[in-house]
Amino acid sequence: MKQLRIRTLAGLLVVAAVLSWAGARLWDAFGTLPAVPLFAPIVLAAIAAVLLATALAFRSRLRAQRERRPEAKGVDPLVAARALVFGQASALVAALVAGMYGGVSVFLLGYLEVPARADQALYAGASLVAGACVIAAGLYLERVCKLPEDGDDNTPGAAPTV
């Protein structure tokens, strides 16, 4: 698998933000803009927490395995591959979702004098921040699951890590 590039994720986020901002302007011109769900930042934060917990668990297990501790539990390669795919997919989707909520929040910043719109701007901004946390946690999980390069481990007979 190829490693995700921050440039790609940032590009997705910016394109989604611009399209979302334009869509919000158009939608508001022809009707009422749909509300930003209160649970959007909560769900994104929960996904970020799961990704971070998985990355920390894998990191400690892989470190114990590399140090050849007797109580070390290895990481099943298939489980690590699934976690890696989950982290990459979460980061890609979070870039789109964070861009969408970022564009909506920028649009709603012009209407902060309306209390309902101010609340929606707060929810959209919190969703943008939580989406950025998902991206960061997904990239960290990807970094933890990265296989060492051929020349990285000079120890003969060392156990391969995920």
Mean pLDDT over all residues of the chain? Answer: 87
Nearest to 100 by CA among 149, 6, 2, 33: 33
Q: What's the burial of 56, exposed, middle or buried (CB within 10 Å: 0-12/13-18/19+)?
A: middle
Look at residue 157 in the predicted model and tell me its pLDDT: 47
Look at residue 49 in the predicted model and tell me its pLDDT: 97
Question: What pTM was estimated for this model as a whole?
Answer: 0.84
**Which sequence spans correspond to the domains of the chain?**
11-24+76-146
Q: Does pLDDT of 160 surpass 90?
A: no
Q: What is the mean pLDDT of residues 98-110?
A: 94
Q: What is the mean pLDDT of residues 59-75?
A: 78
Alpha helices in 4-162 (DSSP H): 6-30, 40-66, 77-108, 115-144
